[in-house]
Structure 1
Amino acid sequence: MSDRVRNLHERAIEEINSGRPAVGARLLRDALRLGDRKGPLTARLLGTLAAAEVAQGNTGRALELLDEAEEVVAPEDRHLLLSQRALVFVLVGRMDDALSLFDDAILRLRRTDQRAALARVLLNRGMLHQIAGRVRLALADLDQCAQLGASLGPDEGMPRTVAKAVHGRGQCRVLTGDIPGALRDFDIAAEVYADQGRGMLAVLAGDRARALLAAGLPSEAATELDTFLGRVPELRMGHEHAEAELTMARARLAAGDPAEARRWAALARRRFHRRRNDTWTAVAELAMLRADFAAGNVTVRGARSAARLADRLRLLGLRNDADEADLLAARTYLARGRLAEARAHLSGRDRPGAPLATRLLRRLVLAELGAAEGDQRRTFAEARAGLALLREHRSRFGSLDLQTGTTSLGGELARAGLAAALDNGKPEVVYRWLERSRAQAFRFPPVRTPADEHTVDAVAALRQLAREARAAELKGNQDSDALRRARQLEREIRAKGWRTDGAGERHVEVGFAEVKAELADADSVLVSFLTDEGRLLAQVVGDRRAELLGLGGTHTVFEAIARLRSDLDAACGRRLPEALQQVIHTSIRRQLAVLAEHLLDPLLRVIGDHNVVLVPTGALSAMPWSLLDALRGRPVTVTPSPSAWVSAKRTVRPPGPVLLVGGPNLKHSSDEVRRIARIYEHSTVLDGEDATVEKTLDAVKRSSLAHFASHGHHEQENVLFSRLDLVDGPLMAHDVHQLAAVPDHVVLSSCDIGQAVVRTGDEILGFTAALLYSGSRTVVSSVARVDDQAAVDVMTAYHQALTRGVPPGKALADATQTQQLMPFVCHGWGG
């Protein structure tokens, strides 16, 4: 009989460790019915059953089982009961009691040769340290656990324990801000879980979501959570289910949806409360208060609730969460004008190892306190210190996806500094804070994701699927299955990039005096746009003066741009009924008139007849500037930031080979390429069957000027896969990011490939942006659909001008002057 009982016990442990506690509990109850209730194995069965009950949220029943086990436990097994009781205490918020029990169990085990048991208890104590924010101690326990487990091997069931230790190490790395390292640890753990404990894969999805949230990618975090939440009911993992709901609340809050954030936080709170988990119930209540604040429910009552919650969290041993609650109380009091009470909750300092989010929040509240007290110096100092923390954090990322996403974590800090700069009014101060608040990813050199066999295969498969989907589209159909599989591959390829470490380097920000000198040298004025309380402003900087001008309402201008682009797309390359064509062209003229009145006219007095360098914000990144009458024929360059423009201007590269590429299924592409080839006598031409991705990428690396005449597609939902169509599939923005070298000058004679997704802080992503990030100085591309036939003449004239030594900005202005609706834009450097 005892053999059968032991077998049931072993199977139960396997099920519990694999994330199926309900199944394990059933097996243990069967074993208890078969065994001797006073035998030496009973205590182990009861202790393991207690663990299964804890995993299902039945903490009261777990403690009863442990009390029963105490009566029959053998001395050599007492560590097991100590550890199980400690786990229960963790879940009910008795952190200090739990730590004492873990310490006792570990002390006992170090006197024995039970190394497997010691490894498991170290794993559990590491989890406790991590929850309490003691990351250094957590990592020490997890490393010891992994080392012990590796020395014991698979016969004692250690691979999964080691995987859990690595998994825990990844969770700690999220707290320290090492997101690439955390994701790599999660991958290592996933390989073991896939073979031994698939239930843990769902838990891992929740932790990946928390990592992506810490990197400023809330929508990607929500996608991971959807995967987790879809599997939780079948796994019956109540605590993990509630944690996922809480993380979803944080993701919704980060995405700017406080109402949904509060709903998810309330769901999590109810689930934790039903499980009598006081610790996590309090954490969920903090998420609810944060959502209330973000929704504008700023009351003294809310501040007092946050203050009481801070005390409660501190008693529960959750120091990081307590600090966050205190800071929320301070911020709420500030919003109500109660400065003395706000200061009382700001008396503490950042603790060593405090999460980045808490440190950034403290800097923000201190900056807001400075603003409330009229102390600009303090506001600037605190906002600057917070952004420096964020800059250091960003330098750890090699993925442009994470670099641009991370900016959102400091969005409020940047706005606080910029608001103080606007109040200050000094041009150099406004300039400095504009530079600190936008396009920060351009400050870091590009890092290429190391190629591996899996990613290479995934990219090849994606290219084939895209080709199949495009073929179906040209026939008037939609291959839904190919599109679905393509989206899945795109996510896998992006996720691979998230694991790449940053170089830790940073380009220096260009100062106000330097910019003025470079503008004078280029006979240009710089116009940097920004938004302030629903209206657009523009700082205009020339060689001798700088002014801050008020423009039109943000909504009016952005809506006019959206309508203009929609009209341009409708009018492009189609034979429309005369009446409809007249309606569309009337609408185009109306939108241009609105944009001239609210966007450009106030600037004309200041910009004079100089060349113009524009730094857009938000929807202005999609503006076809040359369509405005006052800018027609004038060199206009669009750049992400003044520092980026100066860097491109100062970069001098020797001329090199010219590459001309003609894409498929475009009526006039071959004619365009042939005409331009006559201008560049020794150019490399890839057209027809020669225009493959492999040949193009190989030639691009060796070219100083590349011209693409092909269909272009801007992917709004997944911009790293915006693409140009070639004969054997798409050349994607992802491919550009992997290149060791890119042409100095690239012309994209393609529809809407000049568009970008604009993230917080005017961080841009898209095909054109990929070239600029990777080192191209000048990129000419369109922000709307292009008439293919008209493009041939424009592009021919453009290249003819280049060969005469005309700078790109001037060449494009001249080439498009006779074409009324040609939405090409010169990006980067146009001088």
Structure 2
Amino acid sequence: MRDSGRAGTLREQAERLHRLSVEATDNGRPALAARRLRQALTLLGWTTPAGGTPGDDGLLARLLTSLAHAEAEQGRSELGMELLDEAQRRAPAGELAIVHAQRGLMHLRMGSSTQALRELDIAAPMLQLDGDRVELARVLLNRSVIHIATGRIRQARDDARRSAQLAHAHDHPVLAAKALHNDGYCDLLLGDVPAALSVFARVERLYQDVNPGFLPVLALDRARALLAVGLTDEAGHTLDQAIDGFRRQRLMQDYAEAELARAQCALDAGRHAEARDWARRAETHFRRRGSAAWARRAELMRLRSDLARGAAPRSVARRAWDLAARFAELDMPDDGEMARLVSVRALIAAGHLTAAASTATAPPPTPPPPDPAPHAPAPPPDAPPGEPPPHTPASASRAPSGGPPLDGPPPDGPPPDGILAAGAGQGPAPLSRTGGRPRGEPLDVRLMRRLAEAELAGAQGRRGQALRKVREGLALIDSHRGRLGSLDMLTGVAALGADLAAHGLRAALAGGSPRQVFAWSERCRAQAFRFRPTRAPEDERTAEALAELRQLAQQMHADEAAGHRRPALRRRCLELEQVIRERGWQLPGVGERLAPAPVAAVQEALADDGFAMVSLLNVGGGLLALVLVDGRCHLHRLSAYEPVAEAARRLAGDLNAQAGRNLRPALRAVIEASVERQLGVLAAALGAPLRQALSGARGIVLIPTMGLSAVPWGLLPGLRGRPLAVAPSALVWLAARRAAEPFVRDGSSSVLVAGPDLEHAEREIQRLGAVHPKARTLRGEQATVSATLSALDGASFAHFAAHGHHERENVLFSRLDLADGPLMAHDLQRLDRTPGHVVLSACDVGQAVVRAGDELLGFTAALLYLGTSTVISSLTRVPDAVAERVMTAYHRGVALGASPADALAAAGEGEPACTFVCFGAG
């Protein structure tokens, strides 16, 4: 009896350790789980797979199954498989389903999707008969991962939702959270990034309550979603958090997948050497773990980085073609197609056009017939055999572009590129060129194909075909952009088509037609302005974050005035800004868009106004100018871009310094000399196109590029006193001009706002009140954010005399200081109708962050996006006295009937420190 009692006690202790190991696994702590499982096995007398052991074979099999998973998650996949084989030999017939499921999960984590699905399909019917509904929920969840990995999104969603139903019915919140995670990943793969991020936000709250160990996995998938809309910096920050979590948890598969996604970030941002380093590290970790498929993906990313930096294209072509064949063996068609396209582009770069054409049209490598072996792993739960094995939380899917969570360790991750599948909502998914089954092909593959085809056609002298392929690629980007509602994403997504846009411009330049170059420049720049942003939500969480942010901003402002700094307040403000920003990412697009502006329509409008247009471009590091004047289009090749951009940067710094108070005369003279020097560099670089434009027109519409968006053009010697309007593109200028309404001279629908702590603000508003006697005036305690927004909604005209702040790190929180806190660019999205004409008599708020494709973000840009036709704002600090004089003269001119551009030109002509610019219609 004593022996029997001791055996019972040992079994109870082993079962308790098993339950604790399951908790550790569910929290993403495989090392802790493995320690507990080995303690349990020691209690049962088990030492090695070869040795015998007394005790219950069913419990032993469950322990071995769980230990197999824990070891594999730490990178010891071969040992994990040995343990699983031993578990299968010992498992009772009723518990074999769990062993099959676990083997499938392990194969999936190593990239063997076909085997994983077969194994899972063995487990599912066995569990259906057995009646273990929780275990069936796990299997369905993991099978959804397989379907995602193979592009079968409908089946994936069906399995995930069935899993969720079972989990809810049997009170298993961890499984339910994982199933929801996978459902959201289906949205991502279908191209609906806002919907995916909305689901991920819900999943995050669930994981915080029931499964905090899987938060790094969720962060990895959120980063993949951000990569899919070109937000590389944001994705990089998110990945850094995930990598830190995976390192602490020793989740080596996920750690390596995050490294691979980090390589994608660097590649998309143009940091090719950094991308190669990240890919090489990921490849090393995948190989150590035995994840052959993932190692191939990392190798492909390394080759893409080599191609982008121009390294040994012949070698890249050969290695990429070899990789395509290996992907075929692994039944990974999207990765194989990407490898083939890399090979084509490398051959073009090497000058081997015949080989490139042959590779582009060769039939894809054919995968071998499926292995008839009975054990093909499927992505089942990561649980011990026997009882429903608890699993680590599901990680967002890792399909060819990232993937759904499985029960057990997260499934195989995204393809070498973290870009989601596209094409949702556009009818049936296209047939993949790499296989016969219908499936949505990832957007990055489709874009790479258009780029490779365009490059090949261009190299063969078929320029028209090259431009057609670029148009097709940019249309894919447009379709993707139409699903996005936030300005952040609308502007970020241009980065996905940067290579295509550059190729299109180069091809147009090769054709020699200035009109065609102009048309292509308009197709490639500031495309976010063609789409209407979605109105910001009024949800409770966002409202609370905004209220707290405004309160903290007031405290920080008071601290600064008193000479104190509290870094904790700034950190909290950044946290709140991120909460608000992420909520904005979840806004769906409305789909409305403006058609591109025809050259003829632009020229007709210019002629009506007596204006010429000068459009600047940076193509391959060279600065070009297109001049539309007198019904003709002219192309000027100017100089290298960078020296001119450097002069613009120095000019901005000098002007800010010049606006400082109490400058010593000697220092002021040095700054003034530097200002003249930088203006001279700019004038010399742009002299020819500006002279040509002004020879046939009284004023100019100027379309800047990249760093030249920060130039106060009215200070250039040839432009002083001339009417000048600055716009992000010809389309923006044309649309703003059409939307502009006649100024109401008595100011009956105008708003004048004076902010706090600005010496001249009250006096300025009082003077303007005499010019606009019927304008509504907000000053002192009346000038609150809510009162100002209410007055702005639908106003024809608004003037702000307030402190302004441009936030480079979080542009949508650039702001104007009001009585109860900041009015932020983000707040403007709450207006039903923005004012038609806005004057910002504040420093810096004319600045913008310029993203790929000359996409702009900033306070002034936000007004233009939302429909304001004209904005007057400053690009640098302006001395108070200068601002007051210029603004008073400006308003008098407008009240007498002058256009904004004419009124500003006249008001600023004699002011050498006037950096106000007329943006929009002019």
CA positional deviation for 1:128:
2.4
Give 1:145's aligned residue: 163
Aligned-CA RMSD value: 1.7
> In the alignment, which of 6, 10, 16 is matched to residue 7 of structure 1?
16
Q: CA deviation at 1:641?
A: 1.2
Counterpart CA distance in 2 for 1:696 and 1:144 is 50
- Tell me whether 1:27 sits opposite 2:40 in the alignment: no
- Note if 1:651 corresponds to 2:743: no
Q: Could you say what secondary structure the match of 1:740 adopts?
A: coil
Say whether residues 1:243 and 2:226 are aligned partners: no
Instruction: Tell me if structure 2 keeps the 8 A contact 1:753–1:782.
Output: yes
Highest RCO, 1 vs 2 (Cα 8 Å, sep ≥ 6): 2
Amino acid in the other structure paired with 1:716 = R
How many pairs were matched up?
Answer: 826
Aligned-partner SS, 2:285 = helix
Which of 308, 331, 336 pairs up with 2:322? 308
Task: Find 2:289's aligned residue among 275, 298, 302.
Answer: 275
Of 542-551 and 602-611, deviating more is 602-611
TM-fit CA distance, 1:769: 0.2
Deviation for aligned residue 1:232 = 2.3
Q: Distance in 1 between matches of 2:819 and 2:177?
A: 45
Match of 2:868 in 1: 776
Out of 308-317 and 758-767, give the one that drifted further: 308-317
Which of 719, 742, 751 is 2:834 aligned to? 742
Q: Which residue of 1 aligns with 2:27?
A: 18
Structure 1, 782-791 or 574-583: larger mean CA deviation: 574-583
1:391 and 1:573 map into 2 onto residues whose CA distance is 45
CA positional deviation for 1:5? 3.5
Task: Summarize the Cα distance change of 1:446–1:92 in structure 2 as closer, same or farther, 3 Å threshold.
Answer: closer
Q: Quote the residue 2:773 is aligned against.
A: 681
Q: Secondary structure at the match of 2:360?
A: coil
Superposition deviation, residue 314 in structure 1:
2.1
Judge conservation of contact 1:350–1:359 (CA < 8 Å) in 2: no
Q: Offset of 1:727 from its aligned partner?
A: 2.0
Partner of 1:361: 448
Q: Which runs of 4+ in 1 moved over 6 A?
A: none
Structure 1 residue corresponding to 2:198, chosen from 164, 168, 184: 184
Residue type of the partner of 1:526?
Answer: M
SS where residue 761 of structure 1 aligns? helix
Q: Distance in 2 between matches of 1:198 and 1:93?
A: 25
Moved more, 448-457 or 197-206: 448-457
> Comparing 381-390 with 692-701, which one deviates more in the overlay?
692-701
Does 1:536 pair with 2:623?
A: yes
1:795 maps to what in 2? 887
* Cα-to-partner distance string for 1:754-807 (whole Å, 9 max, x where unaligned): 011000000000000010011100000001110111211111111111111111
Contact 2:625 2:689 in 1 (8 A): no
Shift of 1:713: 0.8
1:517 Cα deviation after fit: 1.3
Which of 674, 678, 686 is matched with 1:599 structurally? 686
Q: In the TM superposition, what is the alpha-carbon distance from 1:693 to its structure 2 partner?
A: 1.4
The correspondence for 1:630, drawn from 718, 735, 748, is 718
In the other structure, the counterpart of 1:526 is 613
With 619-628 and 90-99 compared, the bigger mean Cα shift is at 90-99
Deviates more, 1:558-567 or 1:755-764: 558-567
Question: Identity across aligned pairs (percent)?
Answer: 46
Aligned to 2:96: 78
Counterpart residue number, 1:396: 483
Flag the 1:7–1:230 CA change in 2: closer, same or farther, 3 A: same
Conserved? CA contact 2:614–2:693, under 8 Å: no
**Matching residue of 1:90:** 108
Give unmatched runs, 5+ long, in structure 2: 1-7, 45-53, 365-431
Q: Does 1:438 align with 2:525?
A: yes
Contact 1:82 1:104 in 2 (8 A): yes
CA distance in 2, matches of 1:636, 1:711: 25
Contact 1:528 1:616 in 2 (8 A): yes
C-alpha distance in 2, partners of 1:721/1:644?
Answer: 23
Question: Aligned match of 2:703 in 615, 631, 652?
Answer: 615
Contact 1:176 1:356 in 2 (8 A): no
Aligned residue in 2 for 1:255: 269
What's the offset of the Cα at 1:399? 0.8
Match in the other structure for 2:395: none
The answer as to whether partners of 1:414 and 1:437 remain within 8 angstroms in 2 is yes
Shift of 1:702: 4.1
The structure 2 residue matched to 1:667, chosen from 755, 759, 764, is 759
Where does 1:116-155 land on structure 2 (aligned, <5 Å)? 116-150=134-168, 152-154=169-171
Whole-Å separation in 2 of the counterparts to 1:521 and 1:228:
57
On the 8 A contact 1:132/1:320 being kept in 2, the answer is no
Counterpart residue number, 1:341: 355
The one-letter amino acid of 1:161's match is: L
Write the distance in 2 (CA, Å) between the matches of 1:553 and 1:292.
26
Structure 1 position 561 matched with structure 2 position 648: yes
Alignment partners' CA distance in 2, 1:317 and 1:160: 31
Give the letter aligned to residue 762 of structure 1. D
SS across alignment from 2:623: strand
**Partners of 1:218 and 1:533 in 2: how far apart?**
22
AA in 2 matched with 1:11: L
> Greater shift after overlay, 302-311 or 772-781?
302-311
User: Deviation at 1:380?
Assistant: 0.8
1:103 shift after superposition: 1.2
User: What letter matches 2:107 in structure 1?
Assistant: F
Counterpart Cα distance in 2 of 1:95 and 1:721: 44
Could you tell me how far apart the structure 2 residues matched to 1:635 and 1:278 are? 64
Q: Note if contact 1:331-1:342 (Cα within 8 Å) is conserved in structure 2.
A: yes
Report deviation, 1:668: 0.9
Residue 815 of structure 2 corresponds to: 723
The letter for the 1-side match of 2:159 is D
Matched residue SS, 2:918: strand
Please report how far the alpha carbon of residue 134 of structure 1 lies from its aligned counterpart in structure 2 after TM superposition: 3.8
**Structure 1, residues 605-642: CA drift from partner, whole Å, max 9, x if none?**
34324221111101121111111121111110011111
What does the per-residue CA deviation read over 1:541-564, in whole Å, with 9 as the maximum and x for residues that have no partner?
134211111223212211111111
Corresponding residue for residue 418 of structure 2: none
In structure 1, the residue corresponding to 2:90 is in which secondary structure? coil
Q: Is the 8 A contact 1:38 1:72 kept in 2?
A: no
1:652: how far off? 4.7
Q: 2:96 & 2:57 partners in 1: Cα distance?
A: 15
- Amino acid across the alignment from 1:17: D
Cα deviations by residue, 1:396-453 (Å, 9 ceiling, x for unpaired): 1001101100000001111111111111122332222111100111111121132211
User: Which secondary structure does the structure 1 equivalent of 2:130 belong to?
Assistant: coil
Partner of 2:66: 48
CA distance in 1, matches of 2:510, 2:635: 12
d(CA) in 2 for partners of 1:601, 1:418: 22
Using the size of structure 2 for normalisation, the TM-score is: 0.87
- 2: CA distance, partners of 1:250 / 1:393: 19
Aligned equivalents of 1:126 and 1:344: distance in 2? Answer: 37
**Further displaced range: 265-274 or 818-827:** 265-274
Distance in 2 of aligned mates of 1:450 and 1:132? 36
- Choose between structure 1 and 2: higher helix proportion: 1
Query: How far apart, CA to CA, are the structure 2 residues paired with 1:499 and 1:535?
Result: 38
Matched, 1:214 2:228: yes
Moved more, 764-773 or 522-531: 522-531
Shift in Å, 1:261: 1.3
